[in-house]
Amino acid sequence: MKTYLVTGAAGFIGANYIKYLLKNYEDVKIVVLDLLTYAGNLGTIAKDIDNDRCIFHRGDIGDRALVDSLFAEYKFDVVINFAAESHVDRSIENPQLFLETNILGTQNMLDAARKAWVTGRDEQGYPTWRDGVRYHQVSTDEVYGSLGAEGYFTEDTPLCPHSPYSASKTSADLFVMAYHDTFHMPVTITRCSNNYGPYHFPEKLIPLIIKNILEGKKLPVYGDGSNVRDWLYVEDHCKAIEMVVRKGRVGQVYNVGGHNEKTNIDIVRLTIATIHRLMTEQPEYRKVLKKVVMGEDGLPTIDWINDELITFVKDRLGHDQRYAIDPTKIKEELGWYPETCFEVGIVKTIEWYLNNQAWVEEVTSGDYQHYYERMYAGR
């Protein structure tokens, strides 16, 4: 039995990850550390916390006393650091918070792990480490910057971040590698492309578009909608992380992506068409519409769910044009491949949102409306 400290697991990917672990592995006990910022929601993982195999602590990854006390209490074997400020638009509004959480928070976790796990020194003065320990950093393809029409990010692509978010994630990665090179700390890093799936906070493109369609609101597409993202179903990402934690080589970076490039405008059009189709084939889904115009057949109409909802708005500052991952290394070394094709994954995702509007209402019940108005004011 190994004990994992999983940070940020009340957020989108971390929550999917602990659900994946609990479902597929019996040899892991999980302690979650999450600050429950606007992006974290305890309800998302409430059913997973049983205080036996899965325990929850609310707190900041930057709080050294707290993190030290958790290491002392649980004797972690593995740390998986998901916790971060993750939204590029918010990083343009408030870069400082991204520095504090993503850089200082990561360095704090590294130092706490070092303190807990070092057993002595070797002849050259390098620290020696407790057997079987591992620090894993969940990173992003955004550290590589932006691609033109051709090419892919490999693990050797130079780091060239543009946004305050990606600059902070890059700095965190550099600290992780510095702890490996300087202290021989057993670390791994995964750099993944855009995830989609259940529990995605509706400030990111796909869940925001779904939410706005159901409310009959305009669908804001930044710039001309030609930017490309490489979409990966979240459970495939979770599986990749677990493979790297168990079998990945120490000191290595693994890119994770699914060769699934789409322009933003195509994603938005596909989401509109899929919601329209699902509500045609299964009219009971229309009960989740917030914009209700009754038709003569006694059902809410859906003819207004069409491309006319799209509105092109002012572009994101420093908007990266294209991301695309070359996942050859993780495929060849660890046998990982994305199991969920996009056509299946996007329908599963949209159906999840149609069936889980209570979750959407719960996570947007805070100051979400203020955020939305601020973010799209003047666009």
**In the complex, what is the shortest distance from the CB of residue 72 to ligand DAU, in angstroms, rounded to a whole number?**
31
Q: How far apart are CA 184 and CA 243, in angstroms?
A: 21
Q: CB–CB of 129/123 below 8 Å? A: no
| φ, ψ (nearest 5 deg) of residue 368 | -55, -45
| φ, ψ (nearest 5 deg) of residue 191 | -120, 110
- Three-class DSSP category at 347: helix
With binding defined as CB under 6 A, does residue 90 bind ligand DAU?
no
Residue whose entry in the numeric block shows the structure tokens 């060849």: 332
With binding defined as CB under 6 A, does residue 171 bind ligand DAU?
no
Q: Catalytic site residue 122?
A: no
Residue 315 CB contacts under 8 Å (≥ 6 apart), including other chains: 222, 223
Q: CB–CB of 248/342 below 8 Å? A: no
**Of the candidate residues 21, 31, 54, 61, the single one contacting ligand NAD (CB under 6 A):** 61
**In the complex, what is the shortest distance from the CB of residue 364 to ligand NAD, in angstroms, rounded to a whole number?**
13
Q: Which of 48, 60, 85, 142 is catalytic?
A: 142
Site for ligand DAU in 132-151 (CB under 6 A): 140-142
Residue whose entry in the numeric block shows the structure tokens 């950093």: 137
- Residue closer to ligand NAD, measured from CB, 36 or 273: 36
With binding defined as CB under 6 A, does residue 220 bind ligand DAU?
yes
- Three-class DSSP category at 376: helix
Annotate each residue in 172-211 with x if it binds ligand NAD (CB under 6 A) or - if it does not, as one string. Answer: --------------------x-xx-----x----------
Q: How far apart are CA 187 and CA 175, in angstroms?
A: 11
Q: How far apart are CA 319 and CA 366, in angstroms?
A: 28
- Residue closer to ligand NAD, measured from CB, 168 or 212: 168
Return the HEC string of 311-325.
EEECCCCCCCCECCE
Q: Catalytic site residue 152?
A: no
Q: How far apart are CA 222 and CA 90, in angstroms?
A: 15
**Of the candidate residues 88, 138, 213, 245, the single one contacting ligand DAU (CB under 6 A):** 88
Residue whose entry in the numeric block shows the structure tokens 């094709």: 341
Residue whose entry in the numeric block shows the structure tokens 């693994």: 254
Tokens linked to 152: 């892919």
Annotate each residue in 251-290 with x if it binds ligand DAU (CB under 6 A) or - if it does not, as one string. Answer: -------------x--------------------------
With binding defined as CB under 6 A, does residue 340 bind ligand NAD?
no
- Residue closer to ligand NAD, measured from CB, 295 or 366: 366
| Residue ranges in 184-319 assigned as alpha helix (H) | 205-215, 234-247, 264-281
- Three-class DSSP category at 170: helix
Number of residues that bind ligand NAD (CB under 6 A): 31
Sign of CA dihedral 250, 255, 258, 264: positive
**Of the candidate residues 4, 5, 6, 11, the single one contacting ligand NAD (CB under 6 A):** 11
**In the complex, what is the shortest distance from the CB of residue 170 to ligand DAU, in angstroms, rounded to a whole number?**
11
Q: How far apart are CA 42 and CA 24, in angstroms?
A: 22
**Of the candidate residues 28, 205, 213, 302, the single one contacting ligand DAU (CB under 6 A):** 205
With binding defined as CB under 6 A, does residue 91 bind ligand DAU?
no
Q: Catalytic site residue 351?
A: no
**Of the candidate residues 323, 336, 342, 353, the single one contacting ligand DAU (CB under 6 A):** 323
- Residue closer to ligand NAD, measured from CB, 86 or 340: 86
Query: Can you give the binding site for ligand NAD, defined by CB under 6 A?
Result: 7-8, 10-14, 33-37, 39-40, 60-62, 82-86, 101, 105, 138, 140, 169, 192, 194-195, 201
Query: Can you give the binding site for ligand DAU, defined by CB under 6 A?
Result: 86-88, 140-142, 193-194, 204-205, 208, 220-222, 227, 229, 264, 316, 323
Q: Which residues have a catalytic role annotated?
A: 141-142, 165
